[in-house]
Amino acid sequence: MIGLWSVPLLFALPLSLGILSLLVVPKWRPRLIFLGLPLLAAASLDVLAGLATVGPTVYRLGDWAAPLGINLVVDGLAVGMILMTTLVTSLCALYAWVYLRDHPSSTTFFWPLLWFLWAGMNGIWLAEDIFNLYVGLEVMGLAAVGMVALRATPQALAAAMRYLLAALLGSLAYLLGVALLYGAYGTLSMAGLQEAATNNATTQVALALIILGLLLKTALFPLHAWLPPAHGGALTPVSALLSALVIKASFYILMRLWLVLGPEVTPEFTAQFLGVLGAGAVFYGGWMAWRQHHLKQLVAYSTVAQIGYLFLFFPLVTNTGPEAARLAWDGTLMMLIAHALAKAALFLSAGNLILAVGSPQISHLVGISRFRPMSLFSFGLAGVSLMGLPPSGGFTGKWLLLHSAILSGQWWWLIVLFLGGLLSAAYIFKVFRMSFREGPQIDRSVTPPLTLDVTALILASVAILIGLTAHLPLHWLRMGSVFGVG
C-alpha cells in the first residue's frame, strides 16, 4: 500500500526527534530541524498521496485489530490537519531557529518541547478512539505549557501556571466523560460509539463533561481567560504555534465527536448554546482586542474572537438539512485553516514589528510603514484574512458560513458574522493607523533577519491564496466524512 506505511511515522518521527534532541549537546538541538522538517514533510505528503490512491481508510497500528491494537483514521479531515500542521510548524520552527539566537537560555528546552508538541498534535489528528485522543491532548497540552514557561519572567510563569491548571482541568473533565461513555457502552472507538450510543442521561452527562473540558482547552468565551496572557506573553514562535494549531486540536475532537454521535444524541439546544457562546466570543474578543495597547495582546484577543466563528458550526450542522450542513462543514474548516495560517503569520509579523521598534506598545509603531514595509505587509495580508475580506481564506470561509446560515433560516448568525467582521477590521486598522502616522522623524529601527520576514510572508500569502483555490482542499477534506462522496 502506497503511502500508508508512513502514517505511524507522523508521530513516531517527532517523538524520536524529541528524545534525540534531549540527548545531543544544546548547540546541535536547533540543527535537528534540518533533519526533521524534510522527513516530516515527506511523510505528510506521502500520506496525502496514500489518501489520493486508496481513499479514506482506517490504519491498524501493527496490524492488531481494534480493541487490542490502535486504530488510526486516515481521512480527508485528518490529512488536511496534518498538512496544515506540517506547514505551520515547519515555518514557525525556521522562524524560531533564527529568533531564538537572541534568547539562548530558552533554546535548551524549546526544541524538545516543539517535537513533543508536534507528536501530540499528529496523534490527535489521527486517533480513532477517544482515549488515544486524551493521550494526545495531554502530550500536546504539557508541551504547550512548557513552551509558555520558556520566557522565565514572573508574568510568563504565572501565565504558564494558569494555562497548566486550565489544561489539566480540561483534560480531567474530558477523561471523566470518556470513562462514563466507556462504562456505558464498553467501547472507546468512534465507530463503536456511532453504533452503540443512544440518547440517555449517562450519554448526556458524559457529553456535557467532554464539551466542558474541550471548551476550556479551546478557550471559548467565557472560559478564555487563560489564553491572552499565555499566548500574548510567550516567545513569538510559541505564540504562533499555540494560537494557530494547539487550540484547534480540542475543537477538532469536539467536531468529530459531534458528527459521530449524530443528531440522535446531540441536542439542538446544546448546539444553539455553543453558537451563542461563539457569538459572545466574537463580540467580546473583538472588543477586547480593539482595547489592547500591547501588540501581541491584541493578536491574542483576536484569537479569542476568531475561535467564536468555529463554534457556529454546531448550530449550523445540527438538524439543518444536508446542503446547509455541508456548507457549514466547508465553511468551518476553511475558517479553521485560514485562521491557522493567518494567525501564525500575524503573530510572527507582530514579533518582527516588535523587534524592529524594540517595544511591544502599539503606540510605538508610529511611522513604521516607512521603514519596515515588508513586516507590515505580512501583517496586512494576514489581517485581510482575519477580517474576512476578499480575496482570502477567511473570506471564503465567511461566505460559506453566511450561505449556510441563510439556507438553514438562522438569520441571527448573520449578525454575528457581520459585526464580527467590522470589529476585526477595527482592531487590525488600529495597528495600521498607527503605522501610517507621521511622527517625529526618528527613522531608526532594528532590521530583523530576512528569514523572520520571509516565513511570516509565506504564511500570510498561503492564507490569501487558499481562499482563491478553496475548491481543491475542500474537496479533499470532505473525503471520508459524512459529507464526502467517496
In the complex, which residues of this chain contact another protein (CB under 8 A)?
330, 367, 369-370, 373, 377, 384, 389-391, 395-396, 399-400, 402-403, 406-407, 414, 418, 421-422, 425, 429, 432-433, 436-438, 467-471, 474
Choose between 162 and 403: whose C-beta lies nearer to another protein: 403
| Cis peptide bond N-terminal to 222, omega within 30 | yes
Helix, strand or coil, per DSSP, at residue 483 = coil
8 Å CB contact between 152 and 73: no
Of 302, 299, 253, residue with least CA distance to 120 = 253
| Distance in angstroms (rounded) separating the CA atoms of residues 322 and 407 | 10
CB of 283 to another protein, least distance (A): 15
DSSP symbols for 144-205: HHHHHTTS-SHHHHHHHHHHHHHHHHHHHHHHHHHHHHHHHHS--BHHHHHHH--SSHHHHH
CB of 368 to another protein, least distance (A): 11
Choose between 44 and 320: whose C-beta lies nearer to another protein: 320
| Cell numbers given for 451 | 528569514
CB of 391 to another protein, least distance (A): 5
CB of 267 to another protein, least distance (A): 27
CB of 418 to another protein, least distance (A): 5
Choose between 61 and 402: whose C-beta lies nearer to another protein: 402
CB of 394 to another protein, least distance (A): 12
| Distance in angstroms (rounded) separating the CA atoms of residues 465 and 486 | 26
Choose between 85 and 302: whose C-beta lies nearer to another protein: 302
8 Å CB contact between 196 and 185: yes
Of 138, 130, 129, residue with least CA distance to 59 = 129
Of 427, 344, 436, 335, residue with least CA distance to 388 = 335
Choose between 101 and 433: whose C-beta lies nearer to another protein: 433
8 Å CB contact between 53 and 486: no
CB of 419 to another protein, least distance (A): 9
CB of 406 to another protein, least distance (A): 5
What letter would DSSP give residue 440? Answer: S
Choose between 89 and 435: whose C-beta lies nearer to another protein: 435
Cell 514557525 identifies what position? 92
Choose between 94 and 474: whose C-beta lies nearer to another protein: 474
Backbone angles phi, psi at 59, to 5 degrees: -95, 125
Choose between 93 and 470: whose C-beta lies nearer to another protein: 470
CB of 343 to another protein, least distance (A): 19
Pairing type for strands 71-74 and 57-60 reads: antiparallel
Cell 450542522 identifies what position? 317
Choose between 444 and 471: whose C-beta lies nearer to another protein: 471
